[in-house]
Amino acid sequence: MSEVIGDPTFERPRGGDEPLRLMAVHAHPDDESSKGAATMAKYAAEGVEVLVVTCTGGERGDILNPAMDRPEIKADIGKVRQEEMARAREILGVRQSWLGFVDSGFPEGDPPPPLPEGCFALQPLETASEPLVRAVREFRPHVMLTYDEKGGYPHPDHVKCHEVSMEAFEAAGDPERYPGTGDPWQPLKLYYHLTFNKDRILALHNAMEKAGRESPYGDWIKRFDEESERRAKWEVTTRVPCADYFETRDRALLAHATQIDPNGFWFVVPLDIQREAWPTEDYHLARSLVDTELPEDDLFAGVREKVCL
């Protein structure tokens, strides 16, 4: 496993003192702060061990904040994004590990250009999954978070992140698979992020208009209809109340200064409107090896009974 930042020993207490553990698998630095960040901050504050696994270094990401669009930053963007990630994980109160793969970039054009040789998205499944299986067996999460089969949006690294997450969830508990990567460990639940679901976007849009403010979501709503056939359709099974941690989420986002413009889209809707209109982060329960009743308001529903004896 690549270096884990925070507490690399992962020494486990025994018996009823065992903590709950949550692993969030993301494609690039900044993804953890735009998807599920308030959830992670909430659980970390409650004593859950939280590990973000970042598949790539984000080396091919564009600089999206005009204030950071400087030659010296472009020249060493990989190092800069590592430093940004360090600030974000400290704000969220989580640990973090790099899997060490190279960003694939987002191919644009018609037809799109081939992906760069050696990038994450072109790795064979077992090659790309092996370090994540190792991470699962070392950290021993009870719950995993990842993207759906379309990646949430069709970035090749997001799609690959889904593939390796599913492979690791299924394989980490099998002693016959991925030998030499540690003792088997079977996570109990796996969720897909549904942060940008249509109901939430509509609720925020309507709340902004009710408050007499211009909504940033008009074009989004149109795209939901235009792209309906291309979007994965998943039911929201789990809504985690985490409005108290929206401000923490936003500070973590701002730590990714090359990617997030403080005057941009992410911060148009005031926090008080967000908390009132949609105080949760939302997920689809894709795999479960424990009994649980839907809908849920806790990622560890059905898990607490097994772990916290």
Binding site residue list for Zn(2+): 28, 31, 158
Contact predicate 25/162, CB 8 Å: no
Positions at the binding site: 28, 31, 158
Residue 44 DSSP one-character state:
H
What strands lie across the sheet with 4-5, from one edge to the other? Answer: 4-5, 95-101, 49-56, 21-26, 143-146, 189-193, 280-288, 238-241
Nearest alpha-carbon partner for 281 in 226, 200, 218: 200
Amino acid in the structure at residue 161? C
d(CA 180, CA 127): 14
d(CA 228, CA 218): 16
CA-CA-CA-CA torsion for 10, 14, 20, 25, nearest 10 degrees? 30
* Residue 68: both structure tokens together: 């950071």
Q: Give me the residues paired with residue 296 across strands.
A: 238
d(CA 132, CA 24): 11
